[in-house]
A and B are shown apart, each in its own frame.
Chain A
Amino acid sequence: MTRFVLSRLVSAIPTLFLVSLAVFTLIRLIPGDPVSLMLGDNVDDAAYAAMSHELGLDRPIAVQFLMWLQGAFQGDLGRSITTGEAVLPLVLQRFAITAQLVLVAVALATVLAVPLGMLAAWRQNSAFDLGVVVGATALMSIPTFWMGLMLLLLFGLNLGWLPVLGYVSPFDDFGAGALYLVMPVAALVLHECGILVRMSRASTLDVLRLDYVTHARAKGLTEGQVLRRHVFRNAFGPTWTLLGLILGNLLGGVAVVETVFTIPGLGRLIVESIYGRDYPVLQGCLLFVAFTYVVVNLIVDLCYPLFDPRVKTT
C-alpha cells in the first residue's frame, strides 16, 4: 500500500515536468506578452525593450525555463509580473478558497445525485424516471454564467436573502463566510448534479440487469436491501471515476463561478494570468493543479477496490 502510494507519487514527476514544459512553451507561443499589456496603446519601443530586459523576457526560452526549473526545485516559483507577489503563497491562498467551495459543492452534489439516479434507474421508464432525466438534462443545459446570474438576481436582489458581492473567509467568520458561499455552492451543485444523476442512473441500470441481482431478489431480500447491499456497491464504480474527474477539474478552478460571485479563487487567478500573460503565476498555478490531479486520482484509484472488489490495487 505505502509502496503503491510512493510509486504513484514518484511516477507523477514526469507529468509535472511535462505540464510545466508545455505551459511554459505554449503561453510564450501565444501572441501577446506582459510588457505590451503593461504599455497598452502607449507603445514606445525603447520602453518595451527596457521592460522586457528587466523581466528577463529577452533571454532565450530554454534559458528562462531552466532558470524557472531551478527555482521550482528550491521551492521558489518566482514572483507575479503583474503584482509582484510571490507565486507559491499566492497559489496556496487562492487554492484554499477554491477547495472549500468545491469540496462542499461536490459532497452535496454526490449526496443528492447518486441516490436520485439509483431511484430513477430502479423505476426505469416511470414518470419519476422521465422527470429525473428531463430535470438533469435541463440542469446540464444551463451555462454556469447564466445560472449564477439568475441565482444572484433571485436570491441576492429580488429576495434580498444573500449578499450579492464580496467574500468572507469562513475561517475568519464562519457564519458570514457560509452565507457568502451559499450561492456559488448552489450554482455548482445544480450544474454537477445533472451529469452525476445520469451517470449513477446508467450504472445502476447496468447492475440491475446482472444475474446476482435477480438471485438476491429471488432469495427474498427486500428491494431496499437489494439496492443497498448489491446494487449500490457495484454501480458506484463509474460514478466514482467521474467524481474524481469532476473534483480534479473543479479544484483546478471554477473560473466562471468565481467571476460571477466575486470569489478570489484559483480559477480566476488562472484566467487572469492567461489574459494578463503573467507567466510565473500561470506556471505556478498549473504545476499546482497538475499536482492536485495526481493526488485526487491517486485517492480515486485507492478507493476503487472499496466499491469494486474485483479490482486490485497493484
Chain B
Amino acid sequence: MRLGNRIGASALGIMAALAAGGATAQTLNVQLSSDIRSSRPGVNRDALSDMVALNVAEGLFAVGERGDIVPMLAKSWTVSEDGTTYTFALREGRVFHNGAPVTADLVKQSWEAMLAAPDFNCTGFFDGSRGSAVTGIEAPNAQTVVITLAEPDAMFLKYAAQSQCGGMGVTHPDSFAEDGTWDHPIGTGPFVFADWRRGQNVTLEKFSDYQPLAGEIDGFAGHKEALVETVNLVVTPDRATAVAALRSGDLDVVPYLSTAESAELQEEDGFVVKSAPHGGMITLLMQTEDPVLSSTEMRMAVAKALDVAQLVDVATNGLGTPNASLVPISSLYHSAVHDRGVGYAPGEVPAMLEAAGYDGQELVIQTNRRNPINENVAVLAQAMLQMAGINARIEVLEWATQLDRFRSGSFQMSAFNYSNRADPVLAYSAVVDSKEDRGSSIWDDPRAIELVDETLQTPDGEARQALFDELHELYLEQMPFVMLANNLTVSVNADYVQGYSTWNGFARLWGVSVEK
C-alpha cells in the first residue's frame, strides 16, 4: 500500500482482523516525539501522554470508530427519564493489571480521585461551568455504578470519553504511592505500564490476563488484543533521526510524521505511509475586532483571495483534503450544505476591498516553526494575499508565544491548528463564544452562540443536522475565520509491522503485530 493511501474507517477493522491471525512477535519500537508529561490519565497531560494513557487504562465507555459512544468496562447503561441519572452495569470478570477485580467501589474511587485532582484537565466539564455538574457517584452494589448530574446534559458521555480527559480511564487505588502521590497507572487496558525512564523511553507490556471483547477494533473500544509482548516507546525528539532510525530498523513505527518527510518515504520500498484525517482543524484565524478585519467585506476578500484547494494541497504535501466546514467530511453531519465554501474568486477581491475601505494597511499573519503545516499555510496565504493586493506579512513566533497570543486574542491573523474534536459541536464550541467571556473565542456572534448551545443540548438526529446546517450557512455569511481543511496524522511503519494505523490522531497499539 503506497502513495496516496488513505485508510477509510471501515478498512481498519478488516486489516486488524487479518493481522490478528499472525504470529505474535517480540517488541514493537515506536517513536515518541517528546517525553510524556505524566502517566496519570487526564492529569498533567498532552496528546502523547493521552496516547499512552489510552493504551493502558479504560473507561466505563469509550469513543467508537464513528465518534459514537460505546460500552467498555460497563456492558450497558441506562439514563433516567429526566436525563440526570446514569446507571452503569459493569462487565463481569474484568481485572486490573495487579489482578484485583474491577468493582463498582473501585470505579467510584477512581472517578472521585480524578474529579478532585487540582490539575485534572477536564474539571470544567464536570463542575457545572462547561457541562453539567456531577453531583454524586454511587456504588449500590459491586456491579453497578450510578452517576448523577445536576441537570440533564446530552454531551455528558462525550465529554467524559474525550482523550484529553483520559477517557475517564479507571485506575486502581494502588496507582498511588503510600504517601498519596501518583506512582504509575494500574489500569485494565491491553497494555501494562511497565517502566518509564524519563527523557528516554516508556515500556508497555502485554497484559496477559486481558480478555478482549469479541468483534473488531472499534475506536478506543472493541477488540483490543495486544499482539506484541512489549511496546518500547522511544523518546526521539528529532524527526530526521526518527526517520533514520526507522530505516535502520531501530524504530518500527513513527506515528507522527511531517508531510514533507512522508513524501520521501512514500517512494521507498519497505515502508508503509498512511495518512488519516481526524477531527482537528487547519485554519487561518482572523481577529474580528481588529480595525481592518472587523469589516465582513474585508474578511470575505481575504477568503476569496485564497486558492484553498492549492493551498491545502501544497501545505499538506498532497495528503490533505480541503473542507470548508467545521464538520469533518467523514462525519454523519457533513451534508451537502457543508460542501459549500466561499470559493476562490480573485476577480471579486478588488471590489470587496474597496467596499471594506481597505487602504493597504498591513496584516500580520502569526505562525510558528513547530508545525510545518502552520508555516506552510502562512507562507502560502501571505503570497496569495499579496497577489490579490492585500499587504500581508508573516510573523514567526515560538509556539508557546503564539499560543499565548491565541489565548488572549492578540493577533490579526494566525495560522493555527485545533486538535482533534470528538464531536462536530465541540469544533464549533472551540471557536464560538463571546470574546468578553473567553479571550480565545474567534467567532463572537449572538446567533452562533445560541445555535451552539442548542446543538450541545440536542441529541443525535435530524434536529441536530438542521442546527449544524444553519451554523455553516451563518459561517459562510460572516466568514469569521478561514477553515481550510481537517487536520491529518501521517504515520509510517516498516512493512513487517501489521495492522498499525493512527486513529483520530492516536497511536493504537493493540491489534499491531511484528512479523520479521
Contact = CB atoms under 8 A, between A and B. Distances in A.
Do chains A and B make direct contact within the complex (CB under 8 angstroms)? yes
A43 B416 CA distance: 14
Interface of B: 34-35, 37-38, 44-46, 118-119, 121, 123-124, 129-130, 164, 198-201, 234-238, 240-241, 244-245, 247-248, 250-251, 398-401, 403-407, 416-419, 430, 437-440
A83 B401 contact: no
Contacts of A37: 400, 403
Indicate the member of B245, B398, B430 with the most A CB atoms within 10 Å.
Answer: B245
A165 B430 contact: no
Nearest to B241: A260
Given A37-B400, A54-B118, A268-B237, A42 B419 contact: yes
Interface stretch (A25-33, A107-115, A284-292): A25-33
B250 A40 contact: no
A51 B38 CA distance: 16
Interface in A157-213: 157, 160, 163-167
Nearest to B281: A41
Interface in A15-31: 30-31
21 contacts: A31-B401, A31-B405, A38-B45, A38-B119, A40-B419, A41-B416, A41-B419, A43-B439, A82-B44, A83-B38, A83-B198, A149-B244, A152-B241, A156-B245, A164-B250, A260-B241, A262-B235, A264-B198, A264-B199, A275-B398, A277-B400
B250 A165 contact: yes
Nearest to A55: B119
A181 to B, nearest CB: 15
Contacts of B404: 31-33, 36
A269 B248 contact: no
Contacts of B430: 41-42
Contact of A45 (B35, B400, B403, B439): B439
Contacts of A268: 199, 237
B37 to A, nearest CB: 5
A157 B37 CA distance: 31
Nearest to B125: A44
Given A32-B398, A259-B241, 20 more contacts: A36-B404, A38-B37, A38-B46, A41-B406, A41-B417, A41-B419, A46-B123, A47-B124, A51-B119, A83-B198, A85-B198, A153-B244, A156-B248, A157-B248, A165-B245, A165-B248, A260-B240, A262-B241, A268-B199, A268-B237
Contacts of A165: 234, 236, 241, 245, 248, 250-251
A98 B400 CA distance: 26
Interface string A235-266: 00000000000000000000000011110100
Contacts of B123: 46-47, 50
A38 B244 contact: no
Contacts of A309: none
A41 to B, nearest CB: 5
A154 to B, nearest CB: 10
B198 A32 contact: no
Contacts of A166: 200-201, 234, 250
A30 B404 CA distance: 10
Contacts of B199: 94, 264, 268-269
Residue picked from A94, A164, A260, most chain B C-beta under 10 Å: A164
Given A37-B403, A157-B244, A268-B199, A259 B119 contact: no
A16 to B, nearest CB: 26
Contacts of A60: none
B244 A156 contact: yes
A43 B418 CA distance: 11
B118, B235, B241 pick with most chain A CB within 10 angstroms:
B241
CB-based closest 6 A-B pairs: A32-B400, A264-B199, A165-B250, A32-B404, A165-B245, A31-B404
A84 interface: yes
Given A160-B248, A166-B234, A43 B440 contact: yes
B164 A164 contact: no
A44 B248 contact: no
Given A45-B437, A149-B240, A157-B248, A82 B37 contact: yes
B373 to A, nearest CB: 14
Contacts of B417: 41
A47 to B, nearest CB: 5
A44 B130 contact: yes
A156 B248 CA distance: 7
Interface in A108-136: none
A262 B236 contact: yes
A211 B262 CA distance: 64
A32 B244 contact: no
Contacts of B46: 38, 40
B124 A46 contact: yes
B403 A164 contact: no
A164 B240 CA distance: 11
Contacts of A76: none
